[in-house]
Every structure is written in structure tokens, then in C-alpha cells.
């Protein structure tokens, strides 16, 4: 059938006009109607791996129309009871115009009963956002943990919100150990500790690294972390305590400012998987000329542990350094 263009053009024009008219139609804003039942919501605040003895933080928000009732209690049940220090805030926070979080007390301090942490409201409160800090217990290592948040209101309503499961890392973490030349110079990955000469002699079979600081005119040595069994040229003028002889594998790393160790702004996290995939087969047993914010990957001689030793800071004058350790048991 042959179409007559006389009809096609006006029809297209009309369609365009219709489109323009409808797209410009003004719609009045209408306030959303609040639900008339008890409501809740929760988020996990912390990022990165969940590490034993470290914290996982959440915020639990709940609200009910004042005409329907008030909040009576808030409760969190973890699938594995949190370690000592686990708590649910009894203060609700709001952010003021200066961006500062301001607390408003709404109840009694939380009470822990096995897996449950409860706050009972003492103020007439219809809405609150409570922070929950879970201290990861030893029991959760390598497992998963879930959380059920529950709110109750005076009109008998109960509402809950589930979060998780979250994997708990097998890693351990140790912050800010000070090592110094010829004093606290012996590092044990197994103990996550630093020893002096006497301590090293008493724990000889656990010493994995020796810290030393040297300056030479011909090369840059400065701060070093070296295995006791390394070539003596990397342990100049050092007499090791009796029995300190482990051959640790070491690999230097730079620009790996793990947030848990460095607390810098970088959102980098070393997780279990990094240690699982780490290959130090051909790694040497020394790392010299270390800088602040650098680090080393380590595998102990008995292959029981892999670790990342991060250099938080160095002090040339005091011939010392501050280190932090993340450790993974193989």
C-alpha cells in the first residue's frame, strides 16, 4: 500500500507536540507517608578483613511513629558470642551542622548475655540509631559470624534485621612494636613479639628476624630486617645469641600500606588470600635499606607462618623503627 506523505507529516508533528507537553508537565511534590509500623535498618561500618580481637562495627537504626508507641529495647544476637568489650551503644548519634557526631543518651548501657547484647530504653524515644561494636572472639577464627538486630516497641511490635554471614580471618595482628639497634632487635613471628638479647636467648627457636641499622659510605644499608641464618655480610658486627639461627624467607614490598597496620588513608587490606597465594620459594633471607611505609613478606623457616611486617616509622637518630605485623598460620 502506498502511503500518502500528506498524512504522515502532521501525525508525526502531533506526536512530537504530545511528547513535549507531557514531558513538561509539573508534578507537585508530595511528602512520603511514613509506615505506621515499627521499622529498622542496619549497616556494617567497617571494611576489610574481620580479625580476631579486632572490632566489627555496625549501625542499627529503628523508628516508630510517636502516635503508635515508643522504643522499648534494642538487641543484637551474634551467632558466636563477642569477646569482652562487645557493646551496643546506649546513645543515639546525630550529626550537627559542623559535621560533628553528637550523642544523645536514650537508655542504660548495654548488657551482654552470652550471644545477646541488649540496650533497654529509658527515654521516650521514637527513633534511634545505635552503634554496635563486636569484638571478634578467638572462637570465631576461620569461621563465619552473623548478626540479628531486633527492636521492640511499647505497642508490642518486634522487628528484626539480619546481617552476615561474614568470614572471620585466620590472621593475627600486632600493632606498633618498637625495634632498636643492638637492643630490642630480635623479632619472633610465632610470638608476635620483640626481644632483647636475653629474651632472644630464652626464645632462640622462635626468633625469625634481626633488626639492625648500619651506615656505610659505599652503600645504603640503614634499616634492615634480616634472618639470623643470613650471610654475615648482611649481619655486620652482630653476635647472635646462642641458638638463634632460623632461616626466614623475606621479600621486600613497597606501596603496600595495609590500612589495619598503617592507619593511613589508603583503602588497602591484606587478607588471608594474599598469604595463601604468596610464593616466597626463591626469596632471599634479608631485606636492607628499608624505608618508612615499606614492608616485607615473611615465611618462617618451619613454614608455620607467613607474615607481612610493615614499617610504620623509622628513626635514624635513635637507630630504631616501629613495625606492625599481620600474621597468617599456614
Partner 1 sequence: MRKHINITGALLLMAFVWTACKKDNPIDEDGLLITSRAECYVSSFELLGTDFVTVRTKTATIDTTAKTVSVTVMFGTDLKNLYPQFTLAQDCKLDPKITGRTDFSDLANPREYTVVSGNRQVRKTYKVLITVQPR
Site residues (vs partner 1, CB under 8 A):
216, 218-221, 224, 233-234, 236, 251-255, 282-284, 286-289, 294
Going by the DSSP 8-state scheme, the letter that residue 240 receives in this structure is P
Closest CB 254 distance from partner 1, rounded Å: 4
Nearer CB in complex with partner 1: 71/294: 294
Shortest reach from residue 237's CB to partner 1, in Å: 12
CB of 230 to partner 1, least distance (A): 10
- The counts of H helices and E strands in the chain are 4, 21
User: Least distance in Å: CB of 187 to partner 1?
Assistant: 19
Nearer to partner 1 by Cβ, of 23 and 255: the residue is: 255
Sequence-ordered list of residues with C-beta below 8 angstroms from that of 260, at least 6 positions apart, any chain:
48, 49, 51, 54, 173, 269, 270, 326
For residue 206, the 8-state DSSP code is G
* Minimum CB distance to partner 1, residue 24 (Å): 41
Q: Which CB sits closer to partner 1, 213 or 234?
A: 234
Q: Is 14 exposed, middle or buried (0-12, 13-18, 19+ CB in 10 A)?
A: exposed
Q: Which is nearer to partner 1, 164 or 284 (CB)?
A: 284
Taking phi first (over 0 means left), then psi (-120 to 50 degrees means alpha), and beta for anything else, what does residue 161 get? Answer: beta
Query: 182 by DSSP, 3-state: which?
Result: coil
Residue 166 and residue 51: Cα distance in Å, rounded? Answer: 11
Name which of 121 and 234 has its Cβ closer to partner 1: 234
CB of 184 vs partner 1, minimal distance in Å: 23
d(CA 299, CA 208): 9
User: Rounded distance, CA 65 to CA 49, Å?
Assistant: 38
Q: Decide whether 205 or 215 has the Cβ nearer to partner 1.
A: 215
Whole-angstrom distance, CA of residue 115 vs CA of residue 150: 13
* Cell numbers describing residue 99: 559535621
Amino acid at each position: 500500500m502506498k502511503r500518502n506523505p500528506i498524512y504522515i507529516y502532521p501525525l508525526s508533528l502531533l506526536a512530537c507536540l504530545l511528547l513535549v507537553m507531557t514531558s513538561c508537565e509539573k508534578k507537585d511534590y508530595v511528602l512520603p507517608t511514613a509506615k505506621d509500623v515499627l521499622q529498622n535498618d542496619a549497616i556494617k561500618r567497617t571494611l576489610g578483613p574481620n580479625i580476631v580481637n579486632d572490632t566489627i562495627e555496625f549501625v542499627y537504626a529503628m523508628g516508630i511513629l510517636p502516635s503508635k508507641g515508643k522504643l522499648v529495647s534494642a538487641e543484637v544476637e551474634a551467632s558466636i558470642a563477642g569477646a569482652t568489650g562487645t557493646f551496643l551503644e546506649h546513645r543515639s548519634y546525630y550529626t550537627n551542622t559542623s559535621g560533628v557526631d553528637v550523642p544523645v543518651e536514650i537508655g542504660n548501657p548495654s548488657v551482654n548475655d552470652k550471644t545477646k547484647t541488649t540496650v533497654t530504653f529509658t527515654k521516650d524515644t521514637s527513633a534511634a540509631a545505635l552503634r554496635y561494636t563486636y569484638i571478634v572472639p578467638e572462637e570465631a577464627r576461620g569461621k563465619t559470624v552473623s548478626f540479628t538486630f531486633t527492636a521492640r516497641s511499647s505497642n508490642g511490635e518486634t522487628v528484626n534485621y539480619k546481617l552476615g554471614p561474614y568470614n572471620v580471618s585466620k590472621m593475627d595482628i600486632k600493632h606498633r612494636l618498637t625495634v632498636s639497634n643492638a637492643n630490642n632487635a630480635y623479632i619472633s613471628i610465632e610470638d608476635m613479639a620483640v626481644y632483647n638479647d636475653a629474651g632472644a636467648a630464652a626464645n632462640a627457636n622462635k626468633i625469625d628476624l634481626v633488626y639492625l641499622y648500619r651506615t656505610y659510605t659505599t652503600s645504603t644499608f640503614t634499616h634492615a630486617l634480616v634472618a639470623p641464618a643470613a650471610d654475615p655480610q648482611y649481619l655486620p658486627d652482630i653476635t647472635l645469641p646462642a641458638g638463634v639461627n632460623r632461616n626466614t624467607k623475606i621479600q621486600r614490598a613497597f606501596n603496600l600500606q595495609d590500612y589495619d597496620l598503617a592507619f593511613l588513608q589508603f583503602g588497602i587490606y591484606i587478607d588471608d588470600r594474599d598469604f595463601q597465594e604468596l610464593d616466597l620459594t626463591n626469596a632471599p633471607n634479608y631485606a636492607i635499606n628499608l624505608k618508612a611505609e615499606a614492608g616485607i613478606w615473611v615465611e618462617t623457616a618451619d613454614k608455620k607462618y607467613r607474615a607481612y611486617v610493615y614499617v610504620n616509622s623509622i628513626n635514624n637518630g635513635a637507630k630504631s623503627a616501629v613495625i606492625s605485623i599481620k600474621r597468617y598460620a599456614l
